Structure 1
């Protein structure tokens, strides 16, 4: 892959905590695949969803530390941060504030997942609750929701509220079908995409193709666009996390 230094903000490689990597061996294979795609920084985002994925934070952090050590052993250029793909619910803000669910790398950004049964009113309500509490919601794989695909104006409305969007690499390069690829291209042309993530879940299925998506974006939309979405915007998450950490430390003093 002729590109390096990409940042993946959405993947499921912490073993034993959700439907991603089944064990550490699988997680290391996923790390190597990310590396081969040109990824050097990863925000790992295990699912949190009521009655489906509710692994205690202590266990998630334990497995994350083991994975991070494995990444360092593979290549010291690899940097891993802990995040979460947070399925929208009414008590998101209290869970975030209490630390029961993590933000992205400790920043104000929250990777927020919806489901197709949720209507526009509920989506607006959940995003507004996050925004009004000082968080920066990033709508996970926005291209997967029927309500968004049927009404691109809704996506633009949510962005105007202050939300950001993420699409999956596979969707962008056509691995999820022509219709999904076409919708992603529409979003890209309208400047309605802020991040591309791998959303990888394994080393054989739902693998990371982030580097391929970068090359495609550079070819179709230009290098400036590709660098903004795959590198610069993700760096803003990490910069926000650093700023938030320093602010908390100063407040404790």
Structure 2
């Protein structure tokens, strides 16, 4: 429910051949349904529902040609920026993972000053925000009050599968383990961008904590 598989529209798959390699690789890993989520970050990736749906149609057509049997849908990963605020003000419909659930992110480099305000606006517009990879906001390392506040205010959270295995470094791994232990996560995603991610997924050694989390029934990917 978090990946970048549509060709040529963000920092994920660069072309159709790469899209096919990543999707077939996920199918071989046991995935049967994908909800890919290209970035909408207006300063860099000016994606719209029309662009995303057009690329999704192209991917589905190519999968059909190659007889790759896997279900694929598309939503988006919305950056909490002025463009998203504008969409909400204009009451433009957002692309949802399911029903009213919207995947969102903010800067992994520094704290966004109006992040809480935009998240509140997302909720007031009737959407359920899912915060992508909270463990990757390393400037919040051991300063988790912000994320506890978001959780208390109804935000859902998504773990990057590679985060808990050291795929993004020690600090991210420690933060992921903290959030696992404190029952933050509702979803798990690959956040797959490229063949390097696919290669790591093939050899991943999931921690006992993550296995326990999945077996607890707290993770609700299977409801999508």
Which TM-score bucket, shorter chain as reference? 0.7 to 0.9
The aligned residue for residue 206 of structure 1 is 197
Task: Tell me how far 1:88 sits from its aligned partner.
Answer: 0.5
Query: Larger deviation: 17-26 or 87-96?
Result: 87-96
The aligned residue for residue 38 of structure 2 is 46
Task: Tell me how far 1:117 sits from its aligned partner.
Answer: 2.9
| Structure 2 unpaired stretches of 5+ | none
SS class of match (1:181):
helix
Residue 65, structure 1, aligned to residue 57, structure 2: yes
The aligned residue for residue 117 of structure 1 is 110
Measured in 2, the distance between the counterparts of 1:176 and 1:156 equals 22
Measured in 2, the distance between the counterparts of 1:127 and 1:21 equals 28
More helix by share: 1
Q: Deviations over 1:81-121 (max 9, x none)?
A: 1110100024526526424x42225x2111111013334x5
The aligned residue for residue 158 of structure 2 is 166
SS class of match (1:166):
strand
Change (3 A) 1:177 1:140: same
The aligned residue for residue 102 of structure 1 is 95
Task: Tell me how far 1:75 sits from its aligned partner.
Answer: 3.5
Structure 1 residue corresponding to 2:206, chosen from 205, 210, 216: 216
Higher relative contact order (CA 8 A, sep 6+): 1
CA contact (8 A) 1:39 1:211 kept: no
**Post-superposition, which runs of at least 4 consecutive aligned residues in structure 1 deviate over 4 A?**
208-213, 221-224
Change (3 A) 1:81 1:211: farther
Query: Larger deviation: 219-228 or 66-75?
Result: 219-228
Q: How does 1:116-135 map to 2 (within 5 A)?
A: 116-119=109-112, 122-135=114-127
| Structure 1 unpaired stretches of 5+ | 1-8, 239-253
CA contact (8 A) 2:101 2:128 kept: yes
Measured in 2, the distance between the counterparts of 1:63 and 1:222 equals 34
CA contact (8 A) 1:198 1:208 kept: no
Structure 2 residue corresponding to 1:228, chosen from 205, 217, 224: 217
Task: Tell me how far 1:193 sits from its aligned partner.
Answer: 1.3
CA contact (8 A) 1:44 1:84 kept: yes
Change (3 A) 1:103 1:212: farther
Measured in 1, the distance between the counterparts of 2:50 and 2:214 equals 38
Measured in 1, the distance between the counterparts of 2:124 and 2:49 equals 25
